[in-house]
A and B are shown apart, each in its own frame.
Chain A
Amino acid sequence: MELIVARPEGLYCPPGDFYIDPWRQVERAVITHGHGDHARTGHAHYLAAAPSEGILRKRLGANIDLLSLEYGQKINHHGVTLSLHPAGHVLGSAQVRLEYKGEVWVASGDYKVEDDGTCAPFESVPCHTFITESTFGLPIYQWQPQNEIFADINQWWQSNADNNRASVLFCYAFGKAQRLLSGLNPDIGPIIVHGAVEPLNRVYREAGVNLPHTQYVSDIQDMAQIRKSIVLAPPSTQGTSWMKRFGDYSDAFASGWMQLRGARRRRGVDRGFVMSDHADWPGLQTAIMATGAERVFVTHGQVHTMVRWLNEQGLDAQGFNTEYGEEAAEAEANLPSQTEPSIEAKSTDMNSLKAFD
């Protein structure tokens, strides 16, 4: 029995009659996490992990009909037992475990295996069938431990501050920004955040995540202070007049795509810090193998590559047949013009979905 199938509206559970992260409006939607491509407006009923409630209400509307579950808490719907388990991707991100007549399926949404300290760490959930992402599904993607990346970032900030140059770090406003904040050394200088970032910081703080003190640039009158600061801003601000107030600054971009020199140069920033909220190649392998699943569906990113690789490893793997593009390069290609992904996006175009990292 197929517990999850691909439908034009999104991934669908036939016995339970609900969808997971649907991109068209449906009656019942289970949401894995608050990124705009997974959590969309207009569904009649929502179900999500408790820690993502703050984000979802902020982004989808305070009045959405939302039922939230603690991680591991089970509910039954039309005979399907459903529970949510940490995916380690962003605050509140969850894998969806479905059990029906002894058959267990897990849909992972987006996930990362390294514990980053700003959200519940990834939990391996045994299953018969696993649905995985493959955003960075090529062996060239292997991440450094995050403490090394933080050391690099702080060092870059410090040396800019020593030269009285502001450090502008472009990153996605939800998830990446808070993770970066958690690793910054506030002794170096003031931490300035863009207006798109601060509301999400608030949600994280309310959820008990410890973040350093942040300020708006308008809070600081002294240009000398600004020149010692680090600025976290969404990529859409690159090249806009908002940047002018930082004078002659150095800039950087934090993303898994920065692994490749081509992508770094395309970005046109001084530095690229390779930091991703997605699993790298070894991470994907470990996660998939640890489930013990014999069947694997690959949803996005390097679908063909991952499917072929897993089949060669003796698993029964296939791609979920979608109308969308297929390769990570495409997503990267869409990055530069992409602003912070908008929850209003009505498009069913996977390109906009894949603009996430």
Chain B
Amino acid sequence: MKAFANLYARLDATRSSNAKLAAMQDYLLATAPEDAAWAVYFLSGGRPRQLVPSKLLRELTLTVSNLPQWLFEESYQAVGDLAETMMLLLPKSPHTPDESLTVWVEKQLLPLRGLPAEVLMAQLLPLLNQLDQQSQLVGIKLITGSFRVGVSRLLVTRALGLVSGIDAKQIAQRLVGYTDISARPTAADYLKLIAPINEELGERNDGQPYPFFLAHPLQAATDAFDGLIGSSDNWLVEWKWDGIRSQLVKRNGQLWVWSRGEELITDRFPELNVLADYLPDGTVIDGEIVVWQHQYMEAATSLSETDSQAIAVGVQPFALLQQRIGRKTLTAKILHDIPVVILAYDLLEWHGQDSREQRQSVRRAQLEKVVAQCNQPQLQLSTLLTGVNWQDLNLQRAASRSLGVEGMMLKRKDAQYGVGRTKDVGVWWKWKIDPYSVDAVLIYAQTGHGRRAGLYTDYTFAVWDAADNEAERKLVPFAKAYSGLTDVEMREVDAVIRKTTVEKFGPVRSVTPTLVFELGFEGIALSSRHKSGIAVRFPRMLRWRKDKPISEADTLETLKDLLPQTSRGAKNGDAKVGGSQ
């Protein structure tokens, strides 16, 4: 337990990925496999179901510390983390017993689950009292299921890669299912993770994706394009889809789906699995996973490949995809209401042959054949756009918002498929539209977490529900944002919030509106779940409009004008797909 608590402290103390990698490597090399098994489980996001309700933990802390409820709440707000607050208020031992992480998890913590409240109240304190501060914090975090320490699953796979000398992507494949909620990782499981590749057992680099080729932003006046990148004739042009960039890998009868972060996401998209039956072994496709509207899915085969309008209409807002990604379990209802397809735009391997050095146009022609042969609605082509010149394409690009895409992608016809952001074997440009922006008023503030704990850094923004000349107009909240300010600005805003507080509700304060910010966001959709009837995507503060009084902030009307044509026409005022006939 102590060693794991020390690892936690090391990971917690640094923001450098290399330092985190080194800390994990040191721990994994020094610890017993059974403990490493649990450590990897927790670090890569595994959580047993909550062992003790947090309400009971609060009660316990109140009883033991003998504090009034309000003072506990104030303390909690200053700290910003329940486990840490408890750790600071509970008695602790100067030393932690030598029992291992495994003993603690399996013998002490997991058995707590389901115990009656009285028993827990009696058992928990002696249990936690044995631990020193650092171990107590970790112990409580394991109990509350809130163990998080700023390492991604990807970083854990890299650490395991370093420890075992095996490619991290191979580790990622082995990690599939490792953190399932019912999993109880054992020493054997861990040793399997880091074992040498065993070809006799048929384990080869089966599911390995290729490094993704990344696009560069193109920011220039359209008139300058010919001079900068030549005639539009030399380029393949597509929409820039707003989904999850992914590679489909089909080998040895099995299908793997990888995200651009080289995270294995096969489990997240079970409807793509059918493609395993229709794609030949040795096929790797690069494309974008998007949510697709039902009726088009059924009619998909009849769509002409060049009918870009129709294809784009089938794509649903990213917000829906996000809802789906957010779910722990994919219910039948979600799969029905939010179905996905992959829009294919490149072919990296065909019949087991790496095709990345072929020209873009050649790969594209082959891709079109592959998609046609596969003939499944889950695999669609990302359509090519045609225009007589850049100006013409720019005119078409103006439709991006209403089509729910982020602009266009330009791929040189003779480009190879490079590695990462290289430009030496060809180039992809992203020709994006500008982000949306409105001027909004800060009306609520909440204290942040982690680095921002104790500071008011998370804000709710509102716009007016009527124009300036209406006598009684109100501010309607529509977005929350916490990024975009410098540390100095954050402190300045924090001070204003404290001075203009009207009411406190838990960690949230309402303020007398005085602050106006220019908010940028990437997408906007109708939503019945929000008071304003609007949901925006990736809202962030672009700038603090110190020059603007709140009366000059934007209105709901301005915001609604930004909605894509398609959703503005929707009758039920909700962008959900489920209701389509």
Contacts and interface: CB of A to CB of B under 8 A. Distances in A.
Contact of A312 (B13, B15, B68, B78): B68
Interface string B419-450: 00000000000000000000000000001111
A141 B338 CA distance: 49
A261 B453 contact: yes
B452 interface: yes
Contacts of B490: 333
Contacts of A333: 454-455, 490-491, 494-495
A262 interface: yes
Contact of A138 (B75, B447, B487, B491): B75
B13 A270 contact: yes
Contacts of A327: 78, 498
B14 A270 contact: yes
The secondary structure that dominates the A interface is helix
A5 interface: no
A260 B13 contact: no
A326 B494 CA distance: 12
Interface string B1-42: 000000000001111000000000000000000000000000
A45 interface: no
Contacts of A337: 487-488, 491
B407 interface: no
Interface residues of B, number: 36
A288 interface: no
Given A140-B88, A140-B89, A260-B79, A266 B452 contact: yes
Nearest to B494: A333
Nearest to A326: B498
Interface string A289-322: 0000000000000100100110010000000000
Interface string A149-192: 00000000000000000000000000000000000000000000
A53 B449 CA distance: 44
Contacts of A332: 454
A217 interface: no
B71 interface: yes
The secondary structure that dominates the B interface is helix
A350 to B, nearest CB: 10
B450 to A, nearest CB: 6
Nearest to A140: B88
A308 B453 contact: no
Contact of A262 (B89, B452, B491): B452
A268 B455 CA distance: 16
Contact of A260 (B14, B78, B448, B494): B78
Contacts of B491: 333-334, 337
Interface residues of A, number: 32
B453 A330 contact: no
Contacts of A138: 71, 74-75, 78
Contact of B85 (A140, A309, A336): A140
B82 to A, nearest CB: 12
B451 A266 contact: yes
Contacts of B254: none
A325 interface: yes
A330 B495 contact: yes
A13 interface: no
Contacts of A265: 12-13, 15, 450-451
Interface string A339-352: 00000000000010
A312 B488 CA distance: 37
Contact of A309 (B14, B71, B78, B451): B71
B566 interface: no
A328 interface: yes
B77 to A, nearest CB: 9
Interface of B: 12-15, 65, 67-68, 70-71, 74-75, 78-81, 84-85, 88-89, 447-455, 487-488, 490-491, 494-495, 498-499
Given A263-B454, A333-B454, 8 more contacts: A140-B89, A261-B453, A262-B452, A263-B453, A329-B78, A329-B447, A333-B494, A336-B487
